[in-house]
């Protein structure tokens, strides 16, 4: 096992203690949240129903995923490498998956208890500031837990495995990303099926408010906010944190030697400090906008992150590359100062987060021109609302992708054109962006907690008009913060995937070098290892990578469509067969809708997971490491554009609905209102299911490629290459990936047929 200097080990141990302190601060914030008043008896009864539904869903989902995790745990043992590394990689795969699941569950558990407290706070004289404080500190608990567990996991791996830590961390990041993708997809299907069903029947057909207790889908809708936005997004940002660290440590060891293995941990430890500052500094002052207070806390934390990271770089790193321990010969003569380039890379990452925050807020905020334009198109019907929202999504995707590309170009320029150094600095920029992750998670959790609080207040009827307006304002702020955090999460995903792409190329280089003279020099072998895009077979990989993103998005949206259809029919059935619901004398069967959402979302979990895991295997073993690199590039390029388009279109439609509901263009129960509700239902699976799930998708595929790269090289390119085995693996992987899609389609047809027969029987 490669050793590390004692000073490096002491530094990593201190970082582990900072991680533990972060978890301690999360416990402190949790006590503050739970100390707030829980409101009236009716509020508590409604909140209890939401808590039970959310806990039941996550418990069933985790039981479903245990078998999948066990299979992957076993498969990781089959990969080539040192026995100790393979064992560690498999064990820390489970640790990463467990941490991701724990973060998701923690986010959900506290959010469903904070929502009723925010609703109760609206009745106080300082309801605006108190409600915002509770909601934001609820997110702060989750944010500090993300920082603490991510940093602790990485530090423990480095302390145990030292120089071999990067290889073991591949398993840690893979486990976190895989669980996050499942939680994103499953939670997204649940929440949007309930939301769409509640809106289409309740608002459009029956003309009742969104959270009216007469709507059978209201409890499921509130449950969905927590399992989708709280649990799913918390797990998503945790895996972004873990995967970015993994890529930074792998590339840091190559570029900066031993210091490169430790410095990314120092930067993320700085993020723990800035997260505390951001949470404590975010306070609504008097009548100011909650969004303004959140922006102020974010930017102050971001500035502190840059300053502290710069100090850490100048204290820890030497002034020349030649002084770095174990740096490669290619960088030993580099004229730049490692301290300066590291500081600039971190600064670029932090600035990127701030710019993405502003751009996303511009395209999705309730006071911005694009959202007002979409709201205005409601005067001409739902078609123009949908078209204008799609236009905003496409336009914003170009600007956001351009900003991310500019940041990557900036990092490349400060590297002096060195590919090895630039890839590490891209990963370091990702670590810099994640110095704000504690505040980012708090911003995201603020949204569903505020949304749930408004729902509980409306369903209970115990909040006066002034309090209801406070909660409406907080909900509007929450819609914007959710959209903003999705944009930042996408930027993080692209930086992490780009860095992982560099890790993949390094893994291929090492595997090819290990073959030495045993390398096959035939034309086919050369084509399989070529990274040139002009190569037709590499271009095929690019096309397949982009196509996988489109297929994944289509499957996610189609799953919501099927589940939402079942909810629509169920809600209609209850209104039709249970007289007295509309009069308020009969209680709807809320549990039936929750059960349908749970079953439908869990039924759809396997397909996206199998597609993400086996598509890279099929391409790698079938076409080679060069086309697999093209596959990853295609997935990153298409993924960033698709994710931003889906997230921002959905966010714009959602806030356009808020604008109309606040009284403009006809207000509630007008034709304009019906038009924006339809636009919002189109955007629901865009912004909360397919779009966010692309983030873990591209990282899962990159990690799979990184893990299988040595095996692909050995089986495909050696003079003793086993081409029958290679093609067999590729064929089986392709059958598993696309067989899952076919099975999903057949299952959908069966569900549709059974639903039709059930409805015909009810009608008879």
pLDDT, one tens digit per residue, over 73-95 is: 877 777 766 777 778 888 888 89
Question: Considering only CA atoms, which of 543, 488, 553 is closest in space to residue 294?
Answer: 488
Q: Span 277-306, mean pLDDT?
A: 78
Least confident of 47-56, 111-120, 618-627: 47-56
Question: Considering only CA atoms, which of 740, 461, 492 is closest in space to residue 611?
Answer: 740
pLDDT score recorded for residue 605: 74
pLDDT, one tens digit per residue, over 730-752 is: 899 889 888 888 877 776 666 66
Q: Span 34-57, mean pLDDT?
A: 80
- State the Rg of the chain over Cα: 25
pLDDT band, very low/low/confident/very high, at 460 (cuts 50, 70, 90): confident
Question: Considering only CA atoms, which of 44, 83, 63, 651 is closest in space to residue 366?
Answer: 651
pLDDT at 528 over 90: no
pLDDT at 3 over 80: no
pLDDT score recorded for residue 488: 77
Q: How many CB atoms lie within 10 A of CB 67?
A: 9
The most distant pair of C-alpha atoms in the chain lies apart, rounded to whole Å, by 83
pLDDT score recorded for residue 462: 72
H helix runs in 624-670, sequence order: 625-661
Percent of the chain with pLDDT over 70: 91
* Whole-number Å distance between alpha carbons of 733 and 58: 29
* Whole-number Å distance between alpha carbons of 102 and 31: 18
Which DSSP symbol is given to 686?
I
pLDDT band, very low/low/confident/very high, at 47 (cuts 50, 70, 90): confident
* Whole-number Å distance between alpha carbons of 402 and 379: 33
The answer to whether 140 touches 279, Cβ cutoff 8 Å, is yes
Q: Span 472-499, mean pLDDT?
A: 77
pLDDT band, very low/low/confident/very high, at 144 (cuts 50, 70, 90): confident
Q: Which domain range does residue 293 map to?
A: 6-763
pLDDT at 341 over 60: yes
pLDDT band, very low/low/confident/very high, at 550 (cuts 50, 70, 90): very high
Q: Which residues contact 707 (CB under 8 A, 6 or more apart)?
A: 76, 79, 170, 174
Which DSSP symbol is given to 663?
T
Which DSSP symbol is given to 5?
-
pLDDT band, very low/low/confident/very high, at 681 (cuts 50, 70, 90): confident
Which DSSP symbol is given to 435?
G
In a domain, 476, yes or no: yes
pLDDT, one tens digit per residue, over 211-244 is: 677 777 787 777 777 777 777 777 877 888 888 8
Mean pLDDT of the chain: 81
Q: Span 99-128, mean pLDDT?
A: 81
In a domain, 569, yes or no: yes
Number of domains in the chain: 1
Q: 358 or 128, which is more confident?
A: 358
* Whole-number Å distance between alpha carbons of 304 and 651: 29
pLDDT, one tens digit per residue, over 573-594 is: 888 887 787 777 778 787 788 8
pLDDT score recorded for residue 338: 82
In a domain, 1, yes or no: no
pLDDT band, very low/low/confident/very high, at 634 (cuts 50, 70, 90): very high
H/E element, 222:
helix 218-224
Q: Span 331-344, mean pLDDT?
A: 76
pLDDT score recorded for residue 759: 57
pLDDT score recorded for residue 503: 77
759 conformational bin, left if phi > 0, alpha if psi -120 to 50, beta if neither = alpha
Q: Span 51-62, mean pLDDT?
A: 78
Is 718 strand, coil or helix?
strand
In a domain, 72, yes or no: yes
Q: What are phi and psi of 181, to 5 degrees?
A: -65, -45
Q: What share of the chain is helix, strand, coil (3-state, %, to 5)?
A: 85, 0, 15
Instruction: Please give the torsion angle defined by the CA atoms of residues 308, 312, 313 and 319, in that order, rounded to the nearest 10 degrees.
Output: 130
pLDDT score recorded for residue 286: 64
The answer to whether 432 touches 267, Cβ cutoff 8 Å, is yes
Least confident of 30-34, 172-176, 322-326, 732-736: 322-326
Least confident of 44-48, 100-104, 626-630: 44-48
Percent of the chain with pLDDT over 90: 5
pLDDT score recorded for residue 762: 55
Q: Span 346-374, mean pLDDT?
A: 85
Q: Span 291-298, mean pLDDT?
A: 79
Q: What are phi and psi of 325, to 5 degrees?
A: -80, 115
Least confident of 169-173, 247-251, 509-513: 509-513
In a domain, 715, yes or no: yes
pLDDT band, very low/low/confident/very high, at 631 (cuts 50, 70, 90): very high
pLDDT score recorded for residue 74: 79
pLDDT at 356 over 90: no
pLDDT at 20 over 80: yes
Is 519 strand, coil or helix?
strand
Burial class (CB in 10 A: 0-12, 13-18, 19+), 468: middle
pLDDT at 329 over 60: no
pLDDT band, very low/low/confident/very high, at 171 (cuts 50, 70, 90): confident
In a domain, 91, yes or no: yes
The answer to whether 70 touches 98, Cβ cutoff 8 Å, is no
pLDDT score recorded for residue 638: 92
In a domain, 310, yes or no: yes
pLDDT score recorded for residue 191: 78
Q: Span 195-223, mean pLDDT?
A: 75
The answer to whether 386 touches 397, Cβ cutoff 8 Å, is no
Least confident of 13-22, 305-314, 450-459, 528-537: 528-537
């Amino acid at each position: 096992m490669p050793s590390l200097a004692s000073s490096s080990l002491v530094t990593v141990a201190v970082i582990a203690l900072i991680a533990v302190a972060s978890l301690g601060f999360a416990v402190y914030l949790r006590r503050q949240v739970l100390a707030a008043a829980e409101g009236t008896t009716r509020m508590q009864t409604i909140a209890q129903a939401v808590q039970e539904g959310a806990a039941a869903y996550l418990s069933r989902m985790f039981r479903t995923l245990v078998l999948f995790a066990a299979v992957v745990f076993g498969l990781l043992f089959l990969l080539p490498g040192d026995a100790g590394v393979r064992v560690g990689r498999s064990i820390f795969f489970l640790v990463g998956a467990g941490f991701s699941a724990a973060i998701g569950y923690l986010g959900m558990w506290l959010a469903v208890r904070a929502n009723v407290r925010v609703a109760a706070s609206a009745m106080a004289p300082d309801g605006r500031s108190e409600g915002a404080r509770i909601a934001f500190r609820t997110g702060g608990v989750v944010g500090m837990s993300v920082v603490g567990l991510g940093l602790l996991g990485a530090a423990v791996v480095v302390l145990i495995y030292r120089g071999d830590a990067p290889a073991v961390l591949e398993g840690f990041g893979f486990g976190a990303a895989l669980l996050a993708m499942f939680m994103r997809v499953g939670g997204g299907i649940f929440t949007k099926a309930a939301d769409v069903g509640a809106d289409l029947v309740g608002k459009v057909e029956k003309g009742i408010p969104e959270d009216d207790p007469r709507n059978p889908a209201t409890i499921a809708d509130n449950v969905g906010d927590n399992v989708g936005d709280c649990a799913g997004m918390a797990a998503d940002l945790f895996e972004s944190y873990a995967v970015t660290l993994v890529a930074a440590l792998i590339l840091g060891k190559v570029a900066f030697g031993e210091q490169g293995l430790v410095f990314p941990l120092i930067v993320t430890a700085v993020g723990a400090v800035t997260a505390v500052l951001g949470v404590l500094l975010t306070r609504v002052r008097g009548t100011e906008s909650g969004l303004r207070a959140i922006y102020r806390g974010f930017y102050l934390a971001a500035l502190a992150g840059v300053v502290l990271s710069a100090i850490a770089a100048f204290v820890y790193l030497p002034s020349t590359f030649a002084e770095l321990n174990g740096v490669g010969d290619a960088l030993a003569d580099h004229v730049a100062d490692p301290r300066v380039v590291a500081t600039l890379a971190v600064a670029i990452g932090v600035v990127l987060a701030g710019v993405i925050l502003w751009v996303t807020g511009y395209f999705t905020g309730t006071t911005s021109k694009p959202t007002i334009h979409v709201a205005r198109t409601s005067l001409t019907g739902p078609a123009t609302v949908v078209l204008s929202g799609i236009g905003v999504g496409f336009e914003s995707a170009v600007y956001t992708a351009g900003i991310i590309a500019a940041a990557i170009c900036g990092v490349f320029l400060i590297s002096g054109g060195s590919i090895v150094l630039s890839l590490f600095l891209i990963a370091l920029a990702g670590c810099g962006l994640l110095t704000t992750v504690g505040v980012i998670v708090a911003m995201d959790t603020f949204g569903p907690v505020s949304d749930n609080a408004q729902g509980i207040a409306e369903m209970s009827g115990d909040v006066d008009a002034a309090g209801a307006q406070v909660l409406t304002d907080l909900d509007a702020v929450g819609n914007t913060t959710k959209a903003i955090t999705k944009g930042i999460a996408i930027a993080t995903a692209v930086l992490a995937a780009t860095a992982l792409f560099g890790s993949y190329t390094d893994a291929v280089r090492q595997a090819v070098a290990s073959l030495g003279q045993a390398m096959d020099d035939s034309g086919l072998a050369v084509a399989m290892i070529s990274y040139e895009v002009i190569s037709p077979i590499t271009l095929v990989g690019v096309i397949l990578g982009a196509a996988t993103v489109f297929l994944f998005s289509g499957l996610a949206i189609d799953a919501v469509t099927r589940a939402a259809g079942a909810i629509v029919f169920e809600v209609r059935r209850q209104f039709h067969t249970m007289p007295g619901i509309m009069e308020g004398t009969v209680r709807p069967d809320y549990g039936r809708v929750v059960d349908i959402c749970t079953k439908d979302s869990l039924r759809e979990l396997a397909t996206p997971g199998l597609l993400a895991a086996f598509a890279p295997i099929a391409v790698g073993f079938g076409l080679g490491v060069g086309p697999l690199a093209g596959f990853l590039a295609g997935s990153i390029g298409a993924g960033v554009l698709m994710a931003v388009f889906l997230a921002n279109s959905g966010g714009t439609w959602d806030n356009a609905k808020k604008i109309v509901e606040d009284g403009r263009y006809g207000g509630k129960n007008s034709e304009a209102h019906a038009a924006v509700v339809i636009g919002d239902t189109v955007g629901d699976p865009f912004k909360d299911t397919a779009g966010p799930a692309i983030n873990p998708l591209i990282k899962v595929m990159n990690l799979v490629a990184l893990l299988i790269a040595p095996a692909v090289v050995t089986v495909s390119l050696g003079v003793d290459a086993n081409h029958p085995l290679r093609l067999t693996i590729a064929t089986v992987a392709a059958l598993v990936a696309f067989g899952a899609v076919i099975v999903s389609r057949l299952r959908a047809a069966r569900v549709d047929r059974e639903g039709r027969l059930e409805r015909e029987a009810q009608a008879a």
